[in-house]
Amino acid sequence: MAADITASVPESPWWGWAPFTPGGVLPAGARQVLAERLGIDPDVEIAPPPPPATAASVPESSLGAEALGALAAAAGSGTVSQDPADRVRHAAGKHTPDLLRQRAGTPLAFPDAVVSPGARDEVAPILHACSAHGIAVVPFGGGSSVVGGVTPLRGSHSAVIALDLTRLDALISLNEVDRTATFEAGIRGPALERALADHGYTLGHIPQSHQQATLGGYAATRSAGQASTGYGAIAELITAITLETPRGQLALGGRAPASAAGPDLKHLVIGSEGTLGVITEVTVAIKPRVTHKTYGAWAFPSFEAGAAAIRALAQDGGAGDLPDVCRLSDEEETELTLAQTDGAAVRLLRRWLRARGIETPALLLGVWEGTGSDTKRRHKRAVRILKSHGGVSATTAPAEAWDRGRFGSPRLRDELLTIGVMVDTLETAATWTKLAETHTRVAEAIRSALAAGPGGAETRPAAVQGHISHVYRDGASLYYTFIAGAEADPIAQYDRVKAAANAAILAAGATITHHHAVGTEHAAMLPAEIGPLGVNVLRAVKHELDPAGIMNPGKLV
Residues with a catalytic annotation lie at: 479
Residues facing residue 452 across a β-bridge: 458
8 annotated as a binding-site residue:
no
Quick check: 338 and 299 in contact, CB under 8 A? no
Determine if residue 278 is labeled as part of a ligand binding site: yes
Q: How far is CA 218 from CA 175, 179, 236, 276, in A?
A: 21, 20, 12, 16
541 annotated among ligand-binding-site residues: no
Residue 139 is assigned to a ligand binding site: yes
Q: ∠151-153-159 over CA atoms, to 5°?
A: 130
Contact call for residues 61 and 113 (beta carbons, < 8 A): yes
Taking each helix axis from N to C end, the angle separating 65-75 and 123-133, rounded to the nearest 10 degrees, works out to: 160
The rounded radius of gyration (Å) of the Cα atoms in the chain is: 23
Q: Which residues of 37-71 are buried (b: 16+ CB within 10 A; e: fewer)?
A: ebebebeeeebebbeebeeeebeebbbeeebbebb
**Does 173 belong to an annotated binding site?**
no
Tell how strand 79-81 and strand 113-116 pair up.
Answer: antiparallel
What's the N-to-C CA distance of the chain in angstroms? 44
- E-assigned strand segments in 342-468: 362-370, 392-393, 421-431, 462-468
Are 431 and 27 in contact by the 8 Å Cβ rule? The answer is: no
**Cβ–Cβ < 8 Å for 371, 299:** no
Cβ count within 10 A of residue 96: 21
Is 149 a known ligand-binding residue?
A: no
334 labelled ligand-binding? no
CA distance 274 to 299: 42
Cα distances from 23 to residues 48, 51, 151, 152, 263, in angstroms, run 11, 16, 30, 33, 55
141 is in an annotated binding site: yes
Bridge-based pairing state of the strands 159-164 and 113-116: parallel
Helix (H, G, I), strand (E, B) or coil at 537: helix
Asked whether residue 140 is marked as a ligand-binding residue, the answer is: yes
SS3 of 232, please? coil
Q: Which residues contact 139 (CB under 8 A, 6 or more apart)?
A: 150, 163, 165, 216, 220, 274, 278, 279, 551, 552
Contact 230, 369 (CB under 8 A): yes
Q: Which letter, b or e, does each residue of 125-147 get, where b requires 16 or more Cβ atoms within 10 Å of its Cβ?
A: bbbebbbebebbbbbbbbbbbbb
Residues 6+ apart with CB under 8 A from 539: 557
Separation between Cα atoms, residue 174 and residue 180, nearest integer Å: 6
* 325-329 and 462-468 beta bridge pairing: antiparallel
142 is in an annotated binding site: yes
Q: Where are the alpha helices (DSSP H) in 405-489?
A: 409-418, 432-451
Binding residues, by number, are 139-145, 273-279, 413
Bind-site residues for substrate: 413
* Binding site as annotated, residues for FAD: 139-145, 273-279
